[in-house]
């Protein structure tokens, strides 16, 4: 099996509703996201996929949904307040942890029919979560 990996960066704010610790407070991150795409064989250009095409498709989704947004659980009472003030929010059913975000991105790319193998979501320089099926 062949794989390629493309790296993306986003900035976002979030808080972990119901969490006991400093991440219960609204705060921000500059995340590094790694997307790994797989193929059993190479295409006509001897590639798994063109990096430019992959980059454009993933970046379009990240820009529209997560980048420079506040990510909040649907259960978080702050959500309605921020939305009423015009803040762009991305709503998750679960708490917007790195683990949840890695899975969310994986599933969004799969819906775009990308042969995604793994998504890693690096919240800080020392903390990364990954999701793969």
CATH of the domain at 16: 3.30.479.10
As a 3-state breakdown, the chain gives helix, strand, coil percent values, each rounded to 5, of 30, 35, 35
Instruction: Please list the pLDDT of the chain residue by residue as tens digits (133 residues).
Output: 999 999 999 999 999 999 999 999 999 999 999 999 999 999 999 999 999 999 999 999 999 999 999 999 999 999 999 999 999 999 999 999 999 999 999 999 999 999 999 999 999 999 999 999 9
Percent residues over pLDDT 70 in the chain: 100
The reported pLDDT for the residue numbered 42 is 98
The reported pLDDT for the residue numbered 1 is 95
Residue pair 130/121 in contact by the 8 Å Cβ criterion: yes
Q: Name the nearest CA neighbour of 70 among 58, 61, 60, 79.
A: 79
Q: Is 87 exposed, middle or buried (0-12, 13-18, 19+ CB in 10 A)?
A: middle
Marked catalytic residue, from 9, 27, 93, 123: 123
23 is catalytic: yes
Q: Name the nearest CA neighbour of 1 among 53, 38, 30.
A: 38
Backbone angles phi, psi at 21, to 5 degrees: 155, 180
68 is catalytic: yes
Marked catalytic residue, from 9, 27, 68, 107: 68
Q: What is the distance between the alpha carbons of residues 20 and 17, in angstroms, rounded to a whole number?
A: 9
Host domain of residue 14? 2-131
The reported pLDDT for the residue numbered 96 is 98
Our count of domains for the chain comes to: 1
Q: How many helices (H) and strands (E) does the chain have?
A: 3, 6
């Amino acid at each position: 099996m062949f794989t390629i990996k493309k790296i993306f960066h986003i900035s976002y704010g979030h808080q972990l509703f119901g969490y006991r610790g400093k991440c219960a407070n609204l705060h921000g991150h500059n995340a590094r996201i790694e997307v790994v795409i797989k193929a059993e064989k190479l295409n006509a250009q001897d590639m798994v996929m063109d990096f430019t095409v992959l980059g454009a498709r993933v970046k379009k989704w990240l820009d529209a949904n997560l980048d420079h947004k506040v990510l909040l659980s649907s259960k978080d009472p702050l959500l309605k307040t921020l939305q009423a003030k015009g803040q762009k929010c991305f709503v998750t059913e679960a708490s917007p942890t790195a683990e949840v975000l890695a899975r969310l991105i994986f599933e969004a790319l799969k819906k775009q029919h990308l042969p995604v193998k793994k998504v890693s979501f690096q919240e800080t320089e020392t903390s990364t979560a990954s999701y793969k099926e």
